[in-house]
Structure formats: structure tokens, C-alpha cells
Chains A and B, each alone.
Chain A
Amino acid sequence: MLRDITLGQYYQADSVIHRLDPRVKLAATVLFIVSLFIVDNFVGYIIAAIFLACMIKISGVPFRYMIKGMKSIVFLLVIAVVFNLFLTPGEAVLSVWKLKITKEGIRIAVMMAIRLVFLIIGSSLMTLTTTPNNLTDGMEKMMSPLKIFHVPVHEVAMMMSIALRFIPILLEETDKIMKAQIARGADFESGNLIKKAKAMVPLLVPLFISAFRRANDLAMAMEARCYRGGEHRTKMKPLVYHRRDRIGYLIIFAYMAVSVCFGRILKIPFLNI
């Protein structure tokens, strides 16, 4: 029942995108998201859609997996669309009671929806094709200049990789405890809000205890292997750029250029909605 959450989940496959340096993927994801917000006409979004579709195709991750991550933002999406739809001033198209839907409202709402959906798909493409360890390695390397300002880059990266590693473990644990309590007749679904909240106690108490136990065990295991922070720590597999990574950068910059050109600067009259 909890297997639907794709956050931090890795989809095993053998593709160019899987093999890319995590730094390229991180930079590409950030640039892609930035492009979504720079672009302000639909030509730009068509370009983004094509780019995204190609990347998904190359990655070999089934499209269903991208959609799965969407379930969690449906609520946010609906709110964003509804508010923009009704609360944008402008030329009224339809008015219901005191609310009116404006032409500008429709435009912004649709744009907002596209932005959110693309943003989620884009970032889940990155997490689905990059193992959490690789991801935090990439982040650590990218943030390493911050060390000059005494930012504990290694520690931050370590914390992130542990947090990411714990997501599937805790999900599994939740699933297990939930089943055990259901086997004892617990009911997590019916009843009003207060009843539902109360029903969570038999789930949350064991979950917290298990999380603390695991954290404790992990700390012990790390100490037993003489783990000690970032200074002078070497890597078994240092990140090195290959040819494909350079090509990756080229592609994402090319995309950026095209998208900004057509999506913001150049106005194609007949396509400019």
C-alpha cells in the first residue's frame, strides 16, 4: 500500500542517463526547472515537453513511474489551479456567483499546472536514474567550494544520504507494522478525522521506536568502522567527468538556449497564445 511513493526511489536500468555523472544530472535538473519558470508562452512548454519526453525515452524508465510521483502533488496542483483560475483579475469569461473566471486566469492556471507537473516529472527522472549515494556524492562535490566559508559540506551530504537511505527502510517498516496492527483488528481507514488520528498511535509509536533503534545501530556501526567526518577523507570511486558527461552538459545548455529563445525572447506571432 505504501509502495506507491517514488520519492528517493531508484529504478534499476542500464541507460546513458543512468551512467551520467550525478553532477550533470543535478545541474540539468536545476536548469530545466529554471527554464520552466523563465518560459512564458506555450511554444516554450512544447519544447520542454519534447525535451522531457526524449530524456524519459532514453532513460528506459517506464512512464508509469513518473506518474506515480504525481499522486502526492495532486492536492497542491488542484489548489494552485483553482486559486489562479478564480482570483486573477482581468477580462471575465464566465462568472459564477461572486467568482469569475478570467481569460488571464485560465492562462495562468494552465501554465501553473504545466510547470508543476513538468517540475515533478523532471526531478523524479533524476532520482529514478541516480542512486541516493551517487546523488549525495554529486552534491558534495558541487558544494565543495563552500568549504571556504566553513560550511560542513561533507556532513550535510552524509546526513542527506542517510536520510535518503532511511526513506525506503522506514516505509517498509511502516508497511510491516501496519499489517501487524491490521492483523490485530486495527482500522486505519474508516471513521472521522479524530478517530483516524487516534488510530495512528499504534502505528507511530512502534515506528518511532524502530527509527531510534536503527539510528542508534547505524551510529554504532559507523563508529565501529572508525568513521570520522570529512577532513582528509578519500573516496573509493571519485567522480570524474567522461566524454558523455561533457555531451550531457552541451545538450542541456543547448536546450536552455533554445527554450529561452523561443519561450521568452522571440515571439512567434501565430503561435503566441
Chain B
Amino acid sequence: MAIILDHVSHIYEEGTSMETAALRDVNLVIPDGQFIGLIGHTGSGKSTLVQHLNGLMKPTSGNIYYNGEDIHEDGFDKKKLRSKVGLVFQYPEHQLFEIDVFKDVCFGPKNMGLEEKEIELRAYAALKQVGLADEYFYQSPFDLSGGQKRRVAIAGVLAMKPEVLILDEPTAGLDPKGRDEILDQIALLRKEAGITVVLVSHSMEDVAKYVDRIIVMNQGSVMYDDEPRKIFRHYKELEEVGLAAPQVTYIMQELRERGLDVNTDAITVEEARDGILKALAAKGRDIRKA
């Protein structure tokens, strides 16, 4: 039960002077329940890649399988696929259109042809999941703040109860507080509902704390695909393609260079703090011994 990409390539405007390869021979397996960070510089093909996962775009060559079925085969129910693989676009608040928040969230499940009662239950549950307070439910979505609008838009996809949730830069344009809130909410959601989550971002900092696995895209191909810790060891190569490891990685590397024996694999501030304290304690013991 997984999404499999088999030699997927996508070329825009094939055969013209503007021909560009957005994806080059991408092979990936996205197993159930994993929390994946998809990282890449602007134009690295990450947005194109996620649009392939729910069949919005068709690869120019290669195949995509969902639970063992080729999604571009005749007779494959794409509408069902889209309810199973929920995609939240960049700036999803730009897709809101209904007169109130609750109705807008109902749009997805309604399109699935569910019963009225089920639709409302799902919409309510989804709005609760994204942490929107009840008082906003019957307000116009256009009166909400940026962060709240984004929650509503994410709820709109969650209400379809997807098995895989893909979020394309869900924190773009939010302030640090809004960003942390959204990311914490997603992490919690993933823990509670046990769904697969793919988080697209250009910032290592954002995803390092949460994900089990990071896929780094560069110029349409997969550059690295590994656990966060192992990825950040390549911080120099990452810099060359316009990305950066979390700031703590740099601090730890620098400390080690200056002679403090710290574990450079730390990826969060908390881990770094514990690591530095441990190293300092060890150093203190050595001094006392001497």
C-alpha cells in the first residue's frame, strides 16, 4: 500500500524553444504512514512532482502506481484517487469561494457524493483538526486572517479523509508563530490519524524537527533521499544547490572544529542544547581529572 513512482519524467513545452525538463527520471516509493519532507530550491520540480502524485499532471514518460494500480490506466477512478491523496496547494486560501467557512470545507466531501449528515460531520471534524475556533465557522472566509484562511483551506482537503496528505509550502507567507502552529498541527494530525504526510518546503529548518525522511530535489532529479540526520551531513553540497541545513548543524560543526567534542547530528535546538551540555560536562570532568 504505497505510492510508487517509476522512472517518471515531465517535460514542459516539448519540442519548442522553451522546452524544459521539470522532472528527470524520478524513482520513489512513498510507504504508508511516513512523514516525508520534500525539499528543493525554487524551480527544482517539487511542485510538479506533487501534482503527479494525485494525477493532476501526467508524466511525459514513466508510471505512477497507487496501491499497485497504474493511475493513468483507462478506467482508473481519478476522482477517488484525489480524495485518497489530498493535495493542499501553495497559498491554498486563494481557492476559498463559499459564503461561509463551514460550507467551503463541505465542498470536498460533497464532491465525493456523500450523505448530507456525513458531509457535515466530516467538515466539523476537519475544522476541529486544524484548530479553528467554533466562532469562525459561519463567518465569510474572506474576513479571516491569513493564518486562519489557510487552516480553513487545509480543512477543506482534510474533510475528504485522505490517506495521504500532501502540503505544498503550507507555511509560505506566514509569520513564525503561524508557521509553528500550522506545522505542530500537521504533526499532531499525522500522529492521531496515522496518515502519510508529504511536506513540501524550501526550508530545512521547517521540516527537520518533524519528518522521518527527507527527499532533496535539484533540477528535476532526486539528489538525496534519506533520514534528516544523514542528509544534513551533506550541508556543504546542499549549500551549493541553494539550500541550507538547519542553523544548529552549523553551530555544532563549528564547535567541533574549535575543539568541543559534540555530536554533530543534532537537528533541533533542544538536541543541540543537550549535546553541548553533555560535551561541556565531559570536558569539565577531564579538566578536574587533570
CA distance A179 to B51 in the complex (A): 9
CB distance from B154 to the nearest CB of A (A): 11
A147 CB within 8 Å of chain B? no
CB distance from A196 to the nearest CB of B (A): 14
A238 CB within 8 Å of chain B? no
Across-interface contacts of A181 in B (CB, < 8 A)? 95, 107
The answer to whether A12 touches B92 (Cβ under 8 A) is no
Partner of A205, one of B18, B97, B111: B97
The answer to whether A206 touches B96 (Cβ under 8 A) is yes
The answer to whether A184 touches B18 (Cβ under 8 A) is no
With contacts A12-B17, A206-B95, A210-B94 known, is A183 near B54, CB below 8 A?
Answer: yes
B35 CB within 8 Å of chain A? no
Give the contact-size bracket for chain B: 20 to 34
CA distance A184 to B18 in the complex (A): 31
CB distance from B148 to the nearest CB of A (A): 16
With contacts A12-B17, A176-B89 known, is A182 near B94, CB below 8 A?
Answer: no
Across-interface contacts of B95 in A (CB, < 8 A)? 177, 180-181, 184, 202, 206
B246 CB within 8 Å of chain A? no
CB distance from B102 to the nearest CB of A (A): 15
Q: Which 8 A-B pairs have the closest CB atoms?
A: A185-B111, A205-B97, A180-B95, A184-B108, A183-B87, A180-B89, A202-B97, A179-B56
New contact pairs (17) apart from A183-B56, A184-B157, A202-B107, CB-CB < 8 Å: A179-B56, A179-B89, A180-B95, A181-B107, A182-B56, A183-B54, A183-B89, A184-B107, A184-B111, A185-B83, A185-B110, A185-B160, A186-B107, A186-B111, A187-B79, A205-B97, A206-B97
Q: Which residues of B contact A (CB under 8 A)?
A: 16-18, 51, 54, 56, 79, 82-83, 86-87, 89, 92, 94-97, 107-108, 110-112, 142, 156-157, 160
